[in-house]
């Protein structure tokens, strides 16, 4: 069992995180923060979820950072016409 649950933040390497992911998620659920390192360099942070998506979106709307009418976005046509007769899907299939 990991004993670092009492600490607010701890570091863990990528390899160890892979093998102890469930334990780390349990720690984060309890309020801990885990810093993920790759060869000693900090690359990510796993933090507890404190707000729902809806709460975060409301905060962004209230701050004026985003604007959304609640309606589905309009579809737009590409600015440039496609070159040639092949679709992107056709080209991807050819390159496999």
| Domain assignments of the chain as residue spans, ordered by start | 4-39
What is the reported pLDDT for 4?
Answer: 46
Four-residue CA torsion sign, 27, 29, 31, 33: positive
Q: What is the mean pLDDT of each run of 10 residues along the chain (96 residues)?
A: 58 95 94 94 92 88 85 77 77 82
Query: Could you write out the DSSP letters of every residue in 40-82?
Result: TEEEEEE----S-HHHHHHHHHHHTS----SSPPPP---SSPP
Nearest by Cα to 9 from 37, 46, 63, 41: 46
End-to-end CA distance of the chain: give it in Å, rounded. Answer: 46
Is the whole-model pTM more than 0.75? no
């Amino acid at each position: 069992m990991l004993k670092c649950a009492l600490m607010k933040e701890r570091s863990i390497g990528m390899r160890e995180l892979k093998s102890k992911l469930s334990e780390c998620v349990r720690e984060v659920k309890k309020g801990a923060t885990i810093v993920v390192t790759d060869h000693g360099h900090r690359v990510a942070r796993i933090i507890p979820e404190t707000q729902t998506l809806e709460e975060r979106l409301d905060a962004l709307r209230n701050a004026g950072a985003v604007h959304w009418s609640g309606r589905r976005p309009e579809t737009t046509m590409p600015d440039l016409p496609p070159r040639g007769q092949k679709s992107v899907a056709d080209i991807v299939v050819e390159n496999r």
